[in-house]
Structure 1
């Protein structure tokens, strides 16, 4: 992992932007990058052309998609995609030996369906895999869902290298996160027969990870679901895609305005050694000075709360 805990997410064709922005890089693929994903174009050569040191690449973000069809290469974490993911890792990522994978789960799969897929991918790729939370109801959505996955990874040896990437703009904002009976029941409905018994008594552990009461100023923050997720997922958090929950953009931080939930979340991430990743859209990537200013403001905020 890089000394710098702050990275910028960039698509392969815009890696040169990294030369004007300090810190690490998340290399973010989509289905449009078929030539790189299937090995028709060499990733090492791409890094050389962009002038980006391979050591700056902290994570490789695989594209979503449950199927490979035509020119669309899907690399969501499904049984059908295991071969495509493994081939990509072994054929293209030898130049990035320290980079972890960030991947999307299938929205309709329960935990029991996902466990053997994840275990086999961790084994055959020999990489840490961080699963990103979904933007809609699924087994990988709410803070409590992420907490359960963290408990599972801690207790079940084949998933010991499984981690989580938390997107702060994907989390539900439907009230106070908490380990309620309704939310516990929702998790249990998704377990399935293949979930190991060591993870079934997760409820008490999740309750112990949350404070008995939250400060009202924390609860009112749009970053409160992120803070709750960081508490619940603990050491399983590999990185956070820090997107503003109000507009899904790179946060524009006011150095004179406090946000207790954001500050506490950043402090907790520093304690856990997790990366903070910003995901600029195409418009902001075309404004490297503005991007640099926002990254610098976030870096200053992270330093202030450590």
Structure 2
């Protein structure tokens, strides 16, 4: 059996740690990396200096920011940033042709603006783009919000290459125990205007079919319940999950003796989605690569057990 796909998210300045860790890497940019983002420094040369094979880079995580201001290079998914994103892809990512772009959506946007922009960026970059959920209320926040976008990906051909990245620590706990949350559905319906493709209008039926009749699970008292719900709604539109502890927002310890059936169901759902699991270590954990390695190994073991249990 192949090892479950687990990536470690590393900033360009932290790539030296990759030599002590197995598996793939998510290359995570911030505004601090302006020289790489605008092409003043060559990314290929930087990877060579860090000793990281380009084939290990599974995804490239673009920085947030709705626009470029001063030294801050904004690459959130807005029309103002379209040229910046496309230029970066074509000037810096030629050796990373298979890497998915993980990008932040703006917190305030109309679906009628976002959908054609997503379609244009997919065409101009010629690669998967994965939209990460926000940490605050927005059109990309609740499991139902993510399910709506996943429904569009499944039904609307121009977005067929769009994907979702789910951060487990960003999902709201409120409403997770309800099935398809009617308040969230009505909020989505209020955002769907005439400019939104007709394929979007039947999303509620699509999502209703994705939750089991028994919801929440009988043993559903877990902070990972929102993640399980989001994965059910997202299905194979989920490209990756930033698996962060919903309480501490750090890499979970995955103690084999700490039973959490909901987490195990979520890990099994990850395997069903064929999604990449991404760990985002804090600075303290980066300073202790052996502990990070142990946690990643414990996750791989738990992912394997969850996958075998569902057979």
8 A Cα contact 2:142 2:184, kept in partner: no
Q: Work out the CA distance in 1 between the residues paired with 2:189 and 2:81.
A: 26
For residue 201 of structure 1, report the CA deviation from its aligned partner: 1.1
Q: Work out the CA distance in 1 between the residues paired with 2:37 and 2:5.
A: 27
Contiguous gaps of at least 5 residues in structure 1: none
Name the stretch that deviates more: 56-65 or 264-273.
264-273
Residue 140 (structure 1) aligned with residue 140 (structure 2): yes
For residue 246 of structure 1, report the CA deviation from its aligned partner: 0.5
Alpha-carbon distance change, 215 to 92 in structure 1, aligned in 2, over 3 angstroms: same
Residue 76 (structure 1) aligned with residue 82 (structure 2): no
Helix, strand or coil at the partner of 1:240: strand
8 A Cα contact 2:179 2:216, kept in partner: no
Alpha-carbon distance change, 177 to 146 in structure 1, aligned in 2, over 3 angstroms: farther
Q: Write the deviation string for residues 156-181 of structure 1: whole angstroms up to 9, x where unpaired.
A: 11111000000000000013142233
Residue 151 (structure 1) aligned with residue 190 (structure 2): no
Helix, strand or coil at the partner of 1:219: coil
- What residue is the counterpart of 2:65 in the other structure? 65
For residue 194 of structure 1, report the CA deviation from its aligned partner: 1.8
- What residue is the counterpart of 1:273 in the other structure? 274
Contiguous gaps of at least 5 residues in structure 2: none
8 A Cα contact 1:68 1:74, kept in partner: yes
How large is the Cα RMSD of the aligned pairs?
A: 1.3
Helix, strand or coil at the partner of 2:109: coil
For residue 216 of structure 1, report the CA deviation from its aligned partner: 4.7
Helix, strand or coil at the partner of 2:93: helix
- Size of the aligned set, in residue pairs, is 305
Residue 229 (structure 1) aligned with residue 230 (structure 2): yes
Alpha-carbon distance change, 295 to 155 in structure 1, aligned in 2, over 3 angstroms: same
For residue 199 of structure 1, report the CA deviation from its aligned partner: 1.5
8 A Cα contact 1:4 1:24, kept in partner: no
8 A Cα contact 2:4 2:300, kept in partner: no
Q: Write the deviation string for residues 256-283 of structure 1: whole angstroms up to 9, x where unpaired.
A: 1221111111111112211000000111
TM (norm. structure 2) is: 0.95
For residue 241 of structure 1, report the CA deviation from its aligned partner: 0.1
Q: Work out the CA distance in 1 between the residues paired with 2:231 and 2:223.
A: 14
Name the stretch that deviates more: 169-178 or 84-93.
169-178
Q: Write the deviation string for residues 193-237 of structure 1: whole angstroms up to 9, x where unpaired.
A: 321011201111111100111355542111010000000011100
Name the stretch that deviates more: 164-173 or 295-304.
295-304
Give runs of aligned pairs for residues 1-306 of structure 1, distance below 5 A. 5-175=5-175, 176-214=177-215, 216-306=217-307
Name the stretch that deviates more: 144-153 or 184-193.
184-193
